[in-house]
Each structure stands twice: as C-alpha cells, then as structure tokens.
C-alpha cells in the first residue's frame, strides 16, 4: 500500500512497517539535495510531526512523519550520497522505516490518484 501526505511525503506499507520518503514533486521543488538529517533508530514519531530534515541548494525543509510509530531503520547511504533523493525519490532515496503504532492513521492519507490530483492543482 502506497499513501501520500499533503507535505509530499510518501509511505509504502508492508505488514506493520512503513518505508518513508519524499515524492518526485518534492525533490523537484527542492532542487539538488546536499544533506539529509535522518532520525535515530528507536525514535518514536508522531503523525504530522518533524521526523527528518532535507537540505538542498535552495533551502532546508522538514520531513514530517506520515504515520506514528518507532523508527526501525534509516537509509545510511544518504549520508554519503544525498543525491539519491533526487535520482530515485520513490526508490533508493527513501529516508527511514517505521514500525506503525496506529495503522488507522493511514486512512487520513491520499492514495496515488488523490495525490496526483492534489499536485495537478498546485
């Protein structure tokens, strides 16, 4: 299951673990990503609250947790290769994985069609 936030984060859920990143639209708006500050493994996240920071040549932007839970992994490759966020935002450019504590929160997020319509209206 793939869901999206209005802040342009995505979460891909398998079982009770979600992989989180930013959308192609978001990376395009940011420009070249030069640094990513990831959350610590074990950190508890709340839906809609700060989870990470991505810095580009244009600006620094907060990344918000699309769902509540505990961080189980981070994409350490982004430390040395932050450009992966630009090259493959929906693939190798993922940020972190979270063990979901409230799967029902996902119902508040958009599916692909709703997100596409949201972006088209921007």
The string of pLDDT tens digits covering residues 16-56 is 999 999 999 999 999 999 999 999 999 999 999 999 999 99
Q: Tell me, what CATH number does 90's domain have?
A: 2.40.50.100
Domain count, the chain: 1
Give the pLDDT score at 19.
98
CA dist 122 and 117 (Å) reads 9
Question: Does some domain include residue 118?
Answer: no
Question: Does some domain include residue 121?
Answer: no
Q: pTM, whole model, 2 decimals?
A: 0.97
Give the C-alpha distances (Å, rounded to integers) separating 48 from 16, 28, 95, 109, 120. Answer: 18, 22, 16, 11, 22
What is the percentage of the chain residues whose pLDDT exceeds 70? 100
Range of the domain at 74: 2-102
- For tokens 């839970």, the residue is 69
Backbone phi, psi, residue 55, to 5° = -115, 135
Report which secondary-structure segment, H or E, holds 116: helix 112-120
Give the pLDDT score at 31.
96
77 pLDDT band, cuts 50/70/90, is: very high
């Amino acid at each position: 299951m793939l869901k999206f936030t209005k802040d342009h984060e995505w979460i891909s859920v398998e079982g009770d673990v979600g992989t989180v990143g930013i959308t192609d639209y978001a990376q395009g708006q940011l420009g070249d990503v030069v640094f990513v500050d990831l959350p610590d493994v074990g950190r508890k996240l709340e839906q809609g609250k700060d989870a990470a920071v991505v810095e580009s040549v244009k600006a620094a932007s907060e990344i918000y947790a699309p769902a509540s839970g505990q961080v189980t992994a981070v994409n350490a490759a982004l430390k040395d290769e932050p450009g992966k966020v630009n090259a493959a935002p929906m693939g190798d450019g993922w940020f972190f994985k979270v063990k979901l504590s409230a799967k029902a929160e996902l119902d508040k997020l958009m599916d692909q069609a709703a997100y596409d319509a949201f972006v088209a209206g921007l």
